[in-house]
Amino acid sequence: MKAPFQRTCPSCGTANRIPARHLADQGRCGSCKTPLAPTAEPIEIETEAQFDGITRETNVPVLTDFWAEWCGPCRMAAPEVKALASEVAGRALVLKVDTESLPNLAARYGVRSIPNFILTRGGRLLKQQAGLAPRAEMRRWIESS
């Protein structure tokens, strides 16, 4: 995967391309050299290739939330997933996969009920759990990986 991700510099407004392997790293603006914070929001996955690139190339744990817009428990989990992404910025990444948009990716992991969470590192599946999970529990998964 090349560098489809961007971080906008808070100082000069320049869009900086970030390779998948550096999404969890602090960077520096290519223009003004201002530090750029690690990704602290859930990343909405648009393609299987994007998912594969992030999960294989990054050297930190990756928690993925498989969800759908029509799913009530998924909507309940969303604020917790977002808060978790902020808490683990620089130490892990949080992805969101819409099972309606990417059914083959969900099928690859045997997702039959949502929300469904997987934890990977280096492209390897470490943990999978269906159903709601408290943020503290998700954080423990990440910290123990």
- Residue 54's pLDDT is 96
DSSP code of residue 65: E
- If asked whether residues 54 and 16 sit together in one domain, one would say no
Q: Is 127 in contact with 92 (CB distance < 8 Å)?
A: no
- If asked whether residues 12 and 63 sit together in one domain, one would say no
pLDDT band at 4 (very low <50, low <70, confident <90, very high): low
Q: Is 130 in contact with 119 (CB distance < 8 Å)?
A: no
Q: How many structural domains does the chain have?
A: 2
- If asked whether residues 26 and 76 sit together in one domain, one would say no
- If asked whether residues 102 and 125 sit together in one domain, one would say yes
Q: Per residue in 23-55, pLDDT tens?
A: 999 999 999 999 999 999 999 999 999 999 999
- Residue 1's pLDDT is 38
- If asked whether residues 32 and 58 sit together in one domain, one would say no
In three-state secondary structure terms, 91 is coil
For 26, the domain range is 5-36
Active site residues: 71, 74
